[in-house]
Structure 1
Amino acid sequence: MQKTFYKKELLIKSPQKRKGTDNNKKDIEKIQSWLNLFAMQNPSSGTAASIDGDFGPATEKAVLNYQKFNALPQTGIVDQAVFALLSAPLKKAFEDAIAGNTLRELIVNTAKNHLKNHPFELVIKNQSNTGPWVRSYMDGNEGTDWFWCMGFVQAILDQAASIQGKNFKTLIPLTYSCDTVGTIGLQKKLLTRYQTARTNPSLIKPGDIFLLQKTPNDWVHTGIVTAIHGDIIETIEGNTNSDGSHNGNAVMNRIRNFKQSKIDFFSIEPLV
């Protein structure tokens, strides 16, 4: 795999605790981030607390609640073993075995595996588009200006292609820009414009990349096509929400009517 920053998100340098002599601000922020992500999936767990890099009484209580919720020894200390449990969804998303006989199947199943592990961004220091999932998709970058939908798409392509010993960068360069991929698609004649897709849906295939068009040379959002049914496509896309925003906060399975939207399609066929 080319995109391996996620591995850094699975580690802390030393055990972290209240008034610990080896406390590390970045590691504490990682712990606080995962406590909040856990609270999103388990609202009754009592693990949501500020993400400020300070292991104070609130963070200690959140850790104790996490340990109690998961039937762990209630120490209030987060060592690597506890942190591995906290960050397990990220490890599962990137390292679980993926089934599939073709690259297209591998891409769709990889995207589904990420989806079931609930990738979600956080707001840290008043900055959206932050947290361990965003950094993993964006190679360490995060913050309000770092829209991460293309980072997600390329992480999925990378992971799936690597299973077959292929390098996704033979198809498209490492980029976080929809415009870059759209422009390359035009240059390589791999981009099906929405007008053509509407009249010939057979050109759209699972595993292809959709690009939501603002103008003919400006694309604002992207995701993976997982299925085509009549006038609609099913997708898995990052940095979106239930309204289909290009700056949402989660990875979601969405349904889009491609005959009523300006959606272009980038074919992955050369990589297949």
Structure 2
Amino acid sequence: MEFPQRIIKAGETDRAIVKAIQQRLLALGIGNFEATGTFGPKTTAAVKQFQALHRDRFGNPLVTDGKIGSITWEILFDNVVPVQETAPSDLLAKAIEVAASQIGVMENPPGSNRGKEVDAYLQSTNTPLGSFWCAAFVYWCFREAADQLGIANPVFKTAGCLAHWNKTQGKKVIKAQAINNPSLIKPGSIFIKDHGGGLGHTGIVTAVSDGFIETIEGNSNPAGSSNGIGVFRLKFRKINSIEKGFIIY
């Protein structure tokens, strides 16, 4: 079965989907109920048990909340969705290409938020050198892509992640929408994290698969830091970890 593009939980009205989930759980020896198509307390408990016993594709424990989102669905039904890697426009494709050309750029010295390339990212947004630079990196990538295509850069000019989210004219896909329907996120989308206190992190999505995104991020590190030392490609971010959502130009 394909993921129905919404979270399945207690009270679900599509009895056919619920029955399929129940039958799958019972086939795995989990749960003590009849497959009636009603998602009640026993089904919730069985889903939690399944989640407690299994891990996602990266080896991380599933969240034991009794709800079936895209990540639990993938493991439950052994149903890996093909990775979506094709950007829907020339601009988004070119922005990914430009971002990929910067992978391996490092601060000089590490931890300084400085360096030849880092300074160029910050200068593209008229931001003081030595500032956090993840959002400036995103802007610079789109500026370079737009210049190569001979078109105007539509990305809001800022080195602030949350300022970008608040002031963009691009299409927004908020977190809840993205969790329910990962297909709304397209390669070339810009993710916006919100850490509170006006701080955030951002990067460019290069691929989407179920509840995961692959990204290229500036001011990051292999663990996904929001104040790291270079430009990295990461493959493990969960859609539900992106607090604000996604911007699509």
Give the 4+ runs in structure 1 shifted more than 3 A.
none
Give the SS at the match of 2:195. Answer: strand
Matched, 1:138 2:119: no
Matched residue SS, 2:231: strand
Of the three residues 132, 135, 148, the one matched with 1:150 is 135
- What is the rounded CA distance, in whole Å, between the counterparts of 1:189 and 1:107 in structure 2? 15
The answer to whether structure 1 residue 119 and structure 2 residue 123 are counterparts is no
Deviation at 1:214, TM superposition (A): 2.8
SS in 2 for 1:239: strand
CA distance in 2 between counterparts of 1:207 and 1:157 reads 10
CA contact (8 A) 2:139 2:155 kept: no
C-alpha contact 1:108 1:207 (8 A) present in aligned 2? yes
Considering only aligned residues, what root-mean-square deviation do their CA atoms show, in Å?
2.3
Per-residue deviation at 1:107? Answer: 1.2
TM-score calculated relative to the size of structure 1:
0.53
Residues 137 and 182 (structure 1), Cα distance of their counterparts in 2 relative to 1, 3 Å cut: same
Say which structure is richer in helix: 1
1:211-250 aligned at under 5 Å gives the runs 211-215=192-196, 218=198, 220-250=200-230
Deviation per CA, 1:227-258, whole angstroms, max 9, x where unpaired?
A: 00111100000000122111000100012111
Structure 2 CA distance for aligned equivalents of residues 156 and 207 of structure 1? 11
Residue in 1 aligned with 2:245?
264
Q: CA separation in 2, counterparts of 1:239 and 1:130? A: 10
Measured at CA, do residues 189 and 112 of structure 1 come closer, stay the same or move farther in structure 2, by a change above 3 Å? Answer: closer
- Whole-angstrom CA distance in 2 between matches of 1:261 and 1:220: 10
- Using the alignment, how far apart are the partners of 2:170 and 2:158 within structure 1? 19
Distance in 1 separating the partners of 2:178 and 2:185 = 7
Which deviations, in whole Å up to 9, do the C-alpha atoms of 1:5-24 show, x marking residues without a partner? xxxxxxxxxxxxxxxxxxxx
Tell me which amino acid in the other structure corresponds to 2:151: K
Q: Write out per-residue CA displacement over residues 102-156 of structure 1, whole angstroms, 9 at most, x where no aligned residue.
A: 22211111111121xx2111238xx71111121111117422xx00001110110
CA contact (8 A) 1:182 1:219 kept: no
Q: Identity rate of aligned residues, in percent?
A: 33
Where does structure 2 lack aligned partners over 5 or more consecutive residues?
A: 1-87
Aligned partner of residue 92 in structure 2, secondary structure: helix
Alignment deviations for residues 202-245 of structure 1 (CA, whole Å, 9 cap, x no partner)? 21111111101235x95500000100011110000000012211
Matched, 1:176 2:159: yes
1:103 aligns with 2:103: no
For 2:216 and 2:206, how far apart are their aligned partners in 1?
A: 7
> 1: CA distance between counterparts of 2:138 and 2:177?
23
Partner residue, 1:205: 186
Shift of the alpha carbon at 1:101? Answer: 7.6
The amino acid that maps onto 1:259 is N
After TM superposition, the score normalised by the length of structure 2 is: 0.58
Aligned residues: 158
- Residue deviations 1:77-114, cap 9 Å, x none? xxxxxxxxxxxxxxxxxxxxxxx982221111111112
Aligned AA (2:178): A
Equivalents in 1 of 2:114, 2:220: separation in Å? 14
Q: Judge conservation of contact 1:211–1:219 (CA < 8 Å) in 2.
A: no
